[in-house]
Amino acid sequence: MSTTLQTQTEARTMNGAEIVLQALKENGVEVIFGYPGGAVLPLYDAIFQQNAIRHILVRHEQAAVHAAEGYARSTGKVGCVLVTSGPGATNAVTGLVDALLDSVPVVCLTGQVPTHLIGNDAFQEADTTGITRPATKHNYLVKDITKLAATVHEAFYVARTGRPGPVVIDLPKDILIGKGTYHEAPQAPHRSYRPQTEPEAGAIRAAVALLKAAKRPILYAGGGVINAGPEASRLLTEFVRMTGMPCTNTLMGLGAYPASDPQFLGMLGMHGTYEANLAMHGCDVMLNIGARFDDRVTGRLNAFSPDSKKIHADIDPSSINKNVPVDVAIVGDAGRVLRALIEAWQEDGAAQDKTALAEWWRQIDAWRSKQCLHYVQQGSIIKPQHAVRRLYEMTRELGRDTYITTEVGQHQMWAAQYFGFEKPNRWMTSGGLGTMGYGLPSAMGVQIAHPDALVIDIAGEASILMNIQEMGTLAQYRLPVKIFILNNEYMGMVRQWQELLHGSRYSESYSAALPDFVKLAESFHAHGIRVTRAEDLDAGIREMLAHPGPVIADIAVAKDENCFPMIPSGAAHNEMILGAGQSGGVAGVTDEGKVLV
């Protein structure tokens, strides 16, 4: 450890790079995901001279941000990234937008040319703050070393406070090598950025009054509940069981409510369950906690839950009434909102209409009897649904703490549908941006944070290739991540849309030159497995789970399988398409949930 960091309480003068590291340490950073370059070499030199903060060398800057996202989402901490100027910073932009849309707290340190060269088109110069302004919650360009420590402290405060998100700090090289004085993080509240976390009592009472009078209520929980911490998920479960109402989750909210609970309707939205979508369409009071009424959830806005009173609780006031007008707005932290709702529910003297609620559950059970996720595994060709379900069942048998990441595509939706999540922070996927290549680096970050846990990236053969170079990172740090590829030799979701919406014209959706994934795994010092027959699936999964190091399991699945249920783009919740094998083929549903063949 450097003398400067060891004796920082005695000697407060240090160079800019040491100031940055000391500020990171004070903000609880234990791991940085990064890739070096000329503009940030002073920081890398400072990292070399200390042992308090670990650095993980990725193979691409986009992967550094995704790894920090996986670390952050599985721990509740702020992820930290370090990249160089110019292409280093621009390569990170996709990850930053991904973190912005999914509300993930990340601080990204970017190198910059010396201040006197900014604007001169110097080597590896880019307008990083300009480029990342729409890609971040906030960003900074540090031009004065006296403000360096305060800027880092503020960046972490902004990233983790209110609705979490990514923050960029652009660091010119002369600031990193210059001398300055270190200042500890201020104890007083931030002067201008103080998000409201405690809900207003009047809004809580109004929400409870609506819910108690409801005949067909539903609670719809999103990623904001998970961002609020494990206690928020516990309170969500308590409130749902107390009220007797049904609960559904968004893609980002999976795990906020136990999947095995009888009051859970499954995921809602474009590939959500029949019962969740029909209940959302037919409810008379909807409580949304920590979700933003994303278009993949709402479908056609003018037909979204048309006869319901809507209550929206969110820590970000700009999200309320943004996409869907609501009747009761509650601004606050999801955990505090839920605690307030529980207390108000207990204090409110009004009685629920238990008869109407029982009738509502009878209707929901009728929709459930449709068994919209039912599939039939026959013969040797592996159904992708079956592959995911067996993976889920076999990991449960192991009893290990299991974390799932995904790439983006059909496999992502099958994972959401068939892998049950009982706890929060165990599901990492790219929701808002839909970033192919997210899963592998995210899994790296999760494995770094939880070295003894089982971490599995459920992938597609097209998406995994987007950041396949990170197999090198797995090898270097001996990270035992398991990659479970559902290989249908297509960009599956693209092919599905082309089949359903574009007359089966499969334009550029076929992967005609795939690698041998077993040999690819071996070339990266990992273990490779290929399974082509259903009767060998369990043995392949067992081998993957038993191997102590990283594994690529290439599972050959049915090439033409589509992901259902599905709400077509621009359709309403009651206009779902159901899959083959249900009522004789592809079907839609009416307001009453009756099948239209």
Cα–Cα–Cα angle for 287, 250, 584, nearest 5°?
A: 110
> DSSP string covering 185-228, please?
PPSSPPSS-----SPPHHHHHHHHHHHHH-SSEEEEE-HHHHHT
Q: Which residues does the chain have with pLDDT short of 50?
A: 1-11, 581, 583-597
**Residue found by looking up tokens 């160079």 in the block:** 15
Domains for the chain: give ranges and CATH numbers. 3-181 (3.40.50.970), 201-368 (3.40.50.1220), 384-556 (3.40.50.970)
> Which residues are part of the catalytic machinery?
61, 123-124, 173, 493
This model's pTM is above 0.85: yes
In the prediction, which pLDDT does 591 show? 39
pLDDT of residue 93: 98
Tell me, what's the pLDDT at 582?
52
Tokens of 523: 């070339």
pLDDT at 2: 43
Residues in the chain, total: 597
The structure tokens 């998000």 sit at 195
Q: What is the DSSP letter of 340?
A: H
- As a whole number of angstroms, the distance between CA 407 and CA 428 comes to 9
> What confidence score (pLDDT) does residue 580 get?
61
Strand-pairing partners, residue 110, are: 83, 170
**Which distant-in-sequence residues (6+ apart) come within 8 Å of 134 by Cβ?**
none
Q: Residue 277 in contact with residue 296, Cβ under 8 Å?
A: no
CB atoms within 10 A of CB 59: 17
Give the pLDDT of residue 588.
42
Q: How many CB atoms lie within 10 A of CB 10?
A: 8
pLDDT at residue 579 in the model: 78
The residue among 338, 407, 396, 71 whose CA lies nearest residue 199 is: 338
> With contact defined as beta carbons under 8 Å apart, do 279 and 364 qualify?
yes
d(CA 159, CA 265): 33
Given this model, what pLDDT does residue 78 score?
98
